[in-house]
């Protein structure tokens, strides 16, 4: 197995297959706020092998059925309110890839259809604008089917697995703990015990590759408070399907934001 953790640049040696990422994206302000988290994303973009395309599974695109963005040039969705005007002035409009979108729809048939009109949302562009600020790599998004059962999301992830041999970087963008009702005003507010316990339980299951625990997440301690609705947890399920037995796990970031949002992020590479 190739050593994906060694290179002269303290990054990654050439890999047989493309890594997969789970990124805790948190507040849209992370696109313009310099922090240890934004530095981790910037560093990650320089360390990873340059992908041919990026497919993002964002917590902020929920549809009936599964859709894939299919456009020559992406437009940008500012799907938030109450933030500084500076944030809305960010332009991140990378190219799309219609041929790849059609290939993905074929891979996921009959569940998936191409969508020519959907812009990329902040779960996508706030992350990628840090990792790949030049916006030159083709970007696509995959939606979350609102009616799909937990194991159906995992199965769709597994069906995307061949993309890893084709140079496509798959990024699941959500948050393991996303309790907006308990947000604190200060970004660095300490998390309460129920947040850290839930985050630790999920992290332990990821470390041990316990899919049965991660798919039955509602049984984890404080799950009802930590993820009162599932949209930000669901992208993780695609990573479960994409994980290979010989993938190595690397934690990218493991802190919290505003007291009740886990920014835990990780990479799987083999």
Q: What is the pLDDT of residue 81?
A: 79
Please provide residue 57's backbone torsions phi and psi, each rounded to the nearest 5 degrees. Answer: -105, 100
- pTM of the complete model: 0.92
CB neighbours of residue 264 within 10 Å: 22
pLDDT at residue number 82: 84
Total residues found in the chain within this entry: 270
Q: Which residues in the chain come in under a pLDDT of 70?
A: 1-15
Q: In this predicted structure, what is the pLDDT of residue 126?
A: 97
> Crossing angle of helices 36-47/122-131, nearest 10°?
70
Contact assessment for residue 87 and residue 56, using Cβ atoms and an 8 Å cutoff: no
Q: Residue 26: phi, psi to the nearest 5?
A: 60, -145
* Residue 142 CA from chain centroid, whole number: 11
DSSP label of 178: B
Give pLDDT tens digits for 113-161: 999 999 999 999 999 999 999 999 999 999 999 999 999 999 999 999 9
Q: Which pLDDT score, from 0 to 100, does residue 16 have?
A: 76
How crowded is residue 130: how many other Cβ atoms within 10 Å of its Cβ? 24
For residues 19 and 170, what is the distance between their CA atoms, to the nearest angstrom? 8
Using CB atoms within 10 Å of the CB of residue 41, give its burial: 0 to 12 exposed, 13 to 18 middle, 19+ buried: buried
Give the pLDDT score at 9. Answer: 32
- Radius of gyration of the chain measured on its C-alpha atoms: 17
Predicted pLDDT of residue 11:
43
């Amino acid at each position: 197995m190739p050593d994906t953790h060694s290179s002269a640049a303290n990054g990654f040696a050439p890999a047989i297959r493309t890594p997969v990422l789970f990124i805790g994206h948190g507040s849209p302000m992370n696109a313009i706020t310099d922090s240890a988290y934004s530095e981790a994303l910037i560093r990650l973009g320089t360390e990873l092998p340059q992908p041919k395309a990026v497919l993002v599974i964002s917590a902020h695109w929920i549809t009936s059925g599964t859709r894939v963005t299919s456009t020559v040039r992406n437009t940008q969705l500012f799907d938030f309110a109450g933030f500084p005007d500076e944030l809305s002035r960010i332009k991140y409009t990378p190219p799309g890839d219609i041929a790849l979108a059609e290939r993905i729809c074929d891979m996921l048939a009959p569940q998936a259809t191409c969508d020519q009109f959907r812009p990329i949302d902040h779960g996508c562009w706030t992350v990628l604008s840090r990792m790949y600020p030049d916006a030159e790599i083709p970007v696509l998004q995959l939606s979350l089917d609102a009616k799909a059962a937990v194991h159906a999301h995992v199965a769709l992830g597994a069906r995307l697995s061949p993309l890893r041999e084709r140079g496509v970087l798959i990024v699941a963008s959500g948050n393991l703990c996303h309790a907006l009702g308990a947000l604190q005003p200060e970004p660095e507010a300490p998390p309460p015990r129920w947040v850290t316990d839930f985050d630790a339980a999920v992290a332990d299951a990821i470390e041990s590759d316990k899919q049965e625990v991660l798919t039955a997440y509602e049984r984890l301690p404080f799950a009802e408070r930590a993820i009162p609705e599932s949209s930000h947890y669901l992208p993780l399920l695609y990573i479960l399907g994409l994980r290979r037995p010989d993938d190595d796990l690397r934690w990218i970031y493991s802190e919290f934001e505003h007291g009740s949002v886990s920014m835990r992020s990780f990479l799987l590479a083999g």
